[in-house]
Structure 1
Amino acid sequence: MDVTIHRGSKEIGGSCVEVSAGGTRLILDAGLPLVDEDREPFDARTTKHKSVEELIALKVVPNVPGLFGEGPRPDAILLSHSHIDHAGLLHLTHPEIPIHATKGASQMMLAGDLFANQERLPRERHRRVFPGRPFTVGTFTVTPFSVDHSTFGCVAYLLEADGKSLLYSGDLRWHGRKPEMLQNLVGSIAHRNIDALVMEGTHVGSGRGKGKNEYELEAEILATIRDAKKLVLASFSPQDVDRLLTYMNATRDAGRVFVADAYTAF
């Protein structure tokens, strides 16, 4: 089993990892970078008006044989979740490569397409995965596991081939509303001899500490809403379903009325 990190090892986002064995090539995520070469916020509109060749030359798109341009095509793309730093380049990948993802990830990408000028997951390319249910792609056995993150339908992937195994975490957290998802993942792989772990490290070395979990935030938000005499406005990503539930719960418990825009309501 060979592992190539095409992008994402020295930055947050822009994830694109290739795992190959026995002639089968799998791509884990195809994300848009969050910052440019000068470490400034990346303008996603750059991808709208340039060819794939130009984007490869600009290092916006990683030069992976057959994924975006010429060369032998990978056998499949495994999508961990719908955030653009993991899914934002999928629409530029070769249209004949199937994309394995959860129904939830597909729904989140549809919402992004309808309301946020993002790209949906093409229906004809979507191969639905079910957490805990293994499937095969060529020489690989792939098992998705549900993980908690700030959007819906997120999974980690266990890849097994040639007597080796690799766990790809995607993005995950322990401080959301569903920490049992990560506990279940750890319990499911504890007895296995995992040869390699490819794991996100968004906040490693950030010095932010443990922080508050979603339930602690809900209590603080409830207190704020109860103390407010006038309209309370909240700004958060509509795709963060757990945060949406946090605000809805706090609003209900405060005896106030929750009103959302069309994107959030969808």
Structure 2
Amino acid sequence: MRLIPLGGVNEIGGNKFYIEARGEGILIDFGVSFTARREYFGGYLRPKRYSVLASLLRCGAIPAVSNIYDTSLFDPLGLVEEKLRHSPALNVLGIVISHPHIDHYGHLSLIRNDLPIYIGESSLKIAETREKTKSARTVEERVFLDRDRRIETFRTGSTIIIGSIRIIPIHVDHSVPGSYGFVIHTSEGSIAYSGDLRLHGPKSQFTYEFTEAIQREGVDTLMLEGTRID
């Protein structure tokens, strides 16, 4: 089993994790890096609409890996092709989103339309409402409504099957409804991914139910959110 962090390590936001077993891979979250955005963009400075993919690749705000991006996005100078020519290819069969904050889903707008996206029922409604009501239409605001994407929804009690990988979504408490952690079973081991969670909110029992579930399921690796751990 391979577990590759493509973002979200030693930074705020930008969660992107690739899990692969026997040649079949999934992405868990594909969010905007707040750290990179603060460093390279801000105020009136944003990635240019006509070269957004190239701009984000060149400054390292998204990972330089091939076979996942929508290369039909306008690239007049061929910068995307140049950047990805010798990059590693991922065999992604699907993308699973933990909750509707843009640091976990915002860069789905750059992903190929044919890759299926798995997202909680409430999360999808929140993300779609955000897109409908936002006045500024940056790349992060055009994920679900403007594109003909393959969307599959889930809820607690569902089981997601992607190739030979089995994913169990389990609700957690967070500052937005519809937040999930996952237990991911592969043919080469099991991983628990917490997403973003807390123990002090009105639904704190959800987080305790997640911890009970990962003990019950039995996992080899725990990926735990730690933004405010000190």
Report the TM-score range of the alignment, normalised by the length of the smaller protein: 0.7 to 0.9
2:225 matched to 1:200?
Answer: yes
Aligned twin of 1:264? none
Aligned twin of 1:33? 33
Aligned twin of 1:242? none
- Cα deviations across residues 95-114 of structure 1 (Å, max 9, x unaligned)? 11000001111111111111
Contact 1:13 1:31 in 2 (8 A): yes
1:196 & 1:151 partners in 2: Cα distance? 26
Aligned twin of 1:15? 15
2:33 & 2:50 partners in 1: Cα distance? 17
Contact 2:166 2:184 in 1 (8 A): yes
1:135 partner letter: I
2:46 & 2:31 partners in 1: Cα distance? 14
Aligned twin of 1:171? 196
Aligned twin of 1:75? 93
Aligned twin of 1:50? 51
Shift in CA distance, 195/45, structure 1 to aligned 2, threshold 3 Å: same
In structure 2, stretches of 5+ residues that fail to align are 72-83
Aligned twin of 1:119? 142
2:182 matched to 1:157?
Answer: yes
1:158 & 1:10 partners in 2: Cα distance? 23
Q: Kindly report the root-mean-square deviation, in angstroms, between the aligned alpha carbons of the 2 structures.
A: 2.2
1:162 & 1:32 partners in 2: Cα distance? 30
Shift in CA distance, 111/145, structure 1 to aligned 2, threshold 3 Å: same
**Equivalent residues in 2 for 1:179-198 (5 A)?**
179-198=204-223
Greater shift in the superposed pair: 155-164 or 93-102: 155-164
2:117 matched to 1:99?
Answer: yes
Shift of 1:185: 1.1
- Cα deviations across residues 159-206 of structure 1 (Å, max 9, x unaligned)? 10124100111111111110110111112222333111111111122x
| Identical residues among aligned pairs (%) | 25
- Three-state SS of the structure 2 residue aligned to 1:190 is helix
Shift of 1:42: 5.2
Larger Rg: 1
Shift of 1:64: 2.6
Shift in CA distance, 77/42, structure 1 to aligned 2, threshold 3 Å: farther
Shift of 1:130: 2.0
- Three-state SS of the structure 1 residue aligned to 2:46 is helix
2:116 & 2:59 partners in 1: Cα distance? 26
- Three-state SS of the structure 2 residue aligned to 1:80 is coil
Contact 1:133 1:144 in 2 (8 A): yes
1:56 partner letter: L
- Cα deviations across residues 123-142 of structure 1 (Å, max 9, x unaligned)? 64211112122221111011
Which has the bigger relative contact order, CA under 8 A and spacing at least 6?
2
2:168 partner letter: T
Aligned twin of 1:216? none
1:65 & 1:96 partners in 2: Cα distance? 15
TM score, norm. by length of structure 2: 0.81
Aligned twin of 2:62? 61
In proportion to residue count, which structure has more strand?
A: 2
TM score, norm. by length of structure 1: 0.71
Greater shift in the superposed pair: 31-40 or 54-63: 31-40
